[in-house]
Every structure is written in structure tokens, then in C-alpha cells.
A and B are shown apart, each in its own frame.
Chain A
Amino acid sequence: MSIANLETVRALRKVRQIREYTDEPVSQDDLNELLEVARWSGSSQNTQPWHFIVVTDKDALRTIGEQRPNIGWVGESPLAIAIVLNGKNPPSEYYDEGRVTERLLIAARELGLGAGTAWIGEEPQQAAIKQLLGVPEDRILRSVVVIGHPQPGATHKLGRTTSGRKPLEEVVSFGTFGKAASEGSAS
């Protein structure tokens, strides 16, 4: 692995959700690259338990954005990738959904784009969007990754949440739960 790649991945720390976009469409080259990245994501037992729907139709994007009060920004975006899960092994598929989402967020940033995730809502909202996008009832569709060119100065809209992260001491233990590195149990 080259230093260049290392620097790129270290930029992972700076990947943030972007929810404000310009009107500029996502180019076909960039979209193809994003889809290739999604395609190569790892999954449990390499089941690849997904199907991706690229949505650029304004009415469809607006309808998705109307499903929950907090996701209206989807309706103002140029493109969303809906992640459809097979629904055969939900817990494991949710983990894989998280993995492919993370890759898409990272890839979008590295392409100079911005991306955010939107949760469609509860069962009735999910059912409505499945119908809108022609998704069979037995599959799961609960999130979309929204992608576009970031508005200059666009920042993560905090809503009810706070930004930043808990300090390492709070989220990491060494050896056993609650034990700090300084207690010398890691090796």
C-alpha cells in the first residue's frame, strides 16, 4: 500500500454527511465508479445480499423526501442510491448494508462529491417507496445514500444531534471492558 493510499484512507476521519447539493448532476463516470465500489463491497459469506436502484427522477426523489420530516433534503438532491436487501437474513444484511453505505460515503468524498444517508421510515413508508421503485414486497428497503455536488460551505446539519465524537478513552478498552491502555493489559 502506497503512502498516497494511506493518506487517502486517513482522510476517512474527515468523511462527514453532506445534505446540501448544487443543481449539477452526478456525472455518469462518477456514478459508474460509485456503483463499482458498491459492487465490490464485502458481505457476509460473499452473499452480496443487495440490489441498488439509482434514482434521479425528481418526482421520485421528492416522494422519498416526503416520507419523514427530517429527510426533505432528499427531494432537493440530484441522485439517490436505494439499497435493497434480499431480506433472507436481516441482521447480517443490516451489517452488510452499513458496510456498503460506508464505502459509498467514502468514495463520494474522494470523488469530490458529498453524500448522506437517509432512513425512509417505518413499515408504511418503506412499503410506499418499495411500491414507487418496483421493489418486491419480500425485500427490505429502509435506507438510501444520497449523492451530489456539495453546496459551497455545506456542512452537516446537526438537527437534534451533536457533532464530534466521544474521546477514545470512553469508547475503547484494552484486554477487558473498562480497562484503559495504561493499565497494561493489551499485550
Chain B
Amino acid sequence: MTAKLAPADVSHLLRALRQRRTFTDEPISDDVLQDILEVARWTGSAKNSQPWHLVVVRDKEALAKLAGCGQFAGFLAGVDIAIVIALHGYARVAEIYDEGRLSERIMLIADAYGLGSGTAWFSDEAGQATVKELLNIPADWFVHSAVGLGHVPEGHVERPGVALGRRPLTEIVSYERVSDSARNT
């Protein structure tokens, strides 16, 4: 077990992560990629099923094609690496939860290396089918997201498509039972 961190250090690290969608041309080193994949590999999953296969895509042409496979995938055209997450598809509801855990780790370790990352979605079936065909993923697997990674331009501020910030704790937390105000929101 590592030494206990001060609570403020923990929150500093975990709160700072934000989605990035704009990247430079600088490549991610193989060593860093290897470490990211290693952290991903150790992600927990339901019954340790590890219901995933990760396809690392760096080929620019392939990235451009992936970018066209979903409404929220366009930024993949400008990433250095896309890690496409293929799920077994046996227990989709549980696997999507595990996929969220896996993605979160990839984004956190990328952030620790000073890289930016964002989630791309292949939301409709046609887009998913194209991704599977493009990457040679078996048809019975389930694919609907990828994590895009790259170096972030210095000083670049991402323009979010949605409102930033988070709702206050008083709104999202109840103690012991759901508060009356939360029931009505």
C-alpha cells in the first residue's frame, strides 16, 4: 500500500481531469503507450471477466474513418492514438459499466503523463458496424466507444459543447435516505 495522501492531494488529482478534443502532432512515445495499456489491463471488472479487447489505432487514414462513425467521434481525426474498446457482448449491461471503469483509468493515467484524452461515441448501429469492419472486430462483439489520446497544445482551452462545472454536493448527495428535495429534481 502506498503512503496515505492528504485528502486535498487526492482530490486535486482526480478532480482535474477534463475531456480534451484538440491535439498537436507530437506522437505519444511507445513507453508511455505501453504504460497506459498496462494500467488499462489491470482494470477491475465484474467477476474479473475482463470482457474487453483494445484496438490501438494510429494510422491517420483509419483514424479519419473512425471519426466518421459517430456524432461524437469527429475529433478522432486529430488524435495521435485511438484506443477502441471492443466488448465481448455477452452481458452488455454489466460490460458497459466495466467499460466506464476501464476508460476512466486510461484517461487518468494519460492525464498523469500530461496527455489529453476524450471519449468518442459510435452511437448508432451503422457506425458500430463500420468500426467493426474497419478494425476486423468480430461481428458478435459490441463496440460503441473509443478513447482518443494526444498531446494538448500549450495554453489551449477546450470549448465545451455543454455547460461546465458540476452540481453542488447538497444537490447530489443524501444521507441515509433520499432527501425530499432530491426526490423532486
Contacts and interface: CB of A to CB of B under 8 A. Distances in A.
Contacts of A38: 172
Contact of B108 (A12, A14, A55): A12
Contact of B39 (A10, A29, A39, A57): A10
B35 to A, nearest CB: 7
Of listed B15, B46, B55, B178, residue having the most chain A CB within 10 A: B178
A110 interface: yes
A107 to B, nearest CB: 5
A17 to B, nearest CB: 6
Interface in A70-125: 84, 90-91, 94-99, 101-103, 105-107, 109-112, 117, 119
B173 interface: yes
A163 B48 contact: yes
B96 A98 contact: yes
Contacts, number: 247
Given A35-B169, A51-B172, A177 B136 contact: yes
A75 B174 CA distance: 20
B13 A95 contact: no
A171 B52 contact: yes
Interface centre among A12, A105, A181 (most CB of B within 10 A): A12
B10 A161 contact: no
A172 B101 contact: no
Interface residues of B, number: 85
B59 interface: yes
A162 interface: yes
Contact of A175 (B35, B53, B62, B107): B62
Given A46-B160, A97-B100, A106-B108, A51 B39 contact: no
Contacts of A175: 55-59, 62, 135
Contacts of A39: 166-169, 172-173
A182 interface: no
Nearest to A160: B47
Contact of A177 (B2, B55, B113, B121): B55
Contacts of A11: 2
A144 B114 CA distance: 32
A8 B59 contact: no
Interface of A: 1, 4-6, 8-17, 29-30, 32-33, 35-42, 44-46, 48, 50-57, 60, 84, 90-91, 94-99, 101-103, 105-107, 109-112, 117, 119, 133-136, 143, 159-163, 165-166, 168, 171-179, 181, 185-187
Given A94-B100, A186-B58, 17 more contacts: A8-B9, A9-B13, A12-B109, A14-B2, A33-B7, A37-B11, A39-B172, A53-B177, A54-B173, A54-B176, A55-B176, A94-B93, A95-B96, A96-B100, A143-B97, A165-B41, A172-B37
